[in-house]
Amino acid sequence: MALIKPIRGFHPRFGENCYLADNATIIGDVVTGNNCSIWFNAVVRGDVHYIRIGHNVNIQDGAIVHCTYETAPTNIGNNVSIAHRAIVHGCTIEDNVLVGMNAVVMDNAVIGSNSIIAAGAVVLENTVVEPGSVYAGIPAKKVKDTSQELTRDLLERISKKYIKYSGWYRAEDNQ
């Protein structure tokens, strides 16, 4: 069973049809939409500010979602995939975004809709990623625009697959 812990009077709240891995940790002022999944060793820590997560969001193995005390909450839109070991900290991620493996998104950054943050990229604080962009590198810079095909094939596919995968685990848990 996931570690779900209230703090400072704030209790995590989850939408319908969510999957929380056995060793995921969710603390404090965290609210998710429907069809979300928080995977193994992921930490979503809303102890110092709030974290709001839309529908169809997957936070994959070892990822960390946090915020900064009283200054930088974390807002995550719909159909977002936060890949393995990524760090999302005190920022805004709009709809239909992939944050790649080991990527870091820092305080007050805004990741526009239909964008990809490449694996290993570091999005510095206060960076605004244009909607429909691919950002890569350290520090992350725009390398190209996304296409409708890329958005549909990659971003939507990953989001939908994680809903499917979480269904496997929910089914096993109910046996």
CATH code where residue 159 lies: 2.160.10.10
Query: Could you tell me if 34 and 58 are in contact, meaning their C-beta atoms sit under 8 angstroms apart?
Result: no
Q: What is the CA radius of gyration of the chain?
A: 15
pTM score of the predicted model: 0.96
Residues 159 and 175: their CA atoms lie apart, in Å, by 25
> How does pLDDT run along the chain (175 residues), one tens digit per residue?
899 999 999 999 999 999 999 999 999 999 999 999 999 999 999 999 999 999 999 999 999 999 999 999 999 999 999 999 999 999 999 999 999 999 999 999 999 999 999 999 999 999 999 999 999 999 999 999 998 888 777 777 888 899 999 999 988 777 6
Task: Please state, in angstroms and as integers, the Cα–Cα distance from residue 7 to each residue in 44, 47, 76, following that order.
Answer: 13, 6, 21
Domain residue limits at 117: 3-173
Task: Please state, in angstroms and as integers, the Cα–Cα distance from residue 39 to each residue in 20, 24, 107, 162, 167, following that order.
Answer: 6, 6, 23, 10, 13
Based on the structure, what is the number of domains in the chain?
A: 1
Q: Checking DSSP bridges between strand 87-89 and strand 92-93, what pairing results, if any?
A: unpaired
Q: Is 8 left (phi over 0), alpha (psi -120 to 50) or beta?
A: left
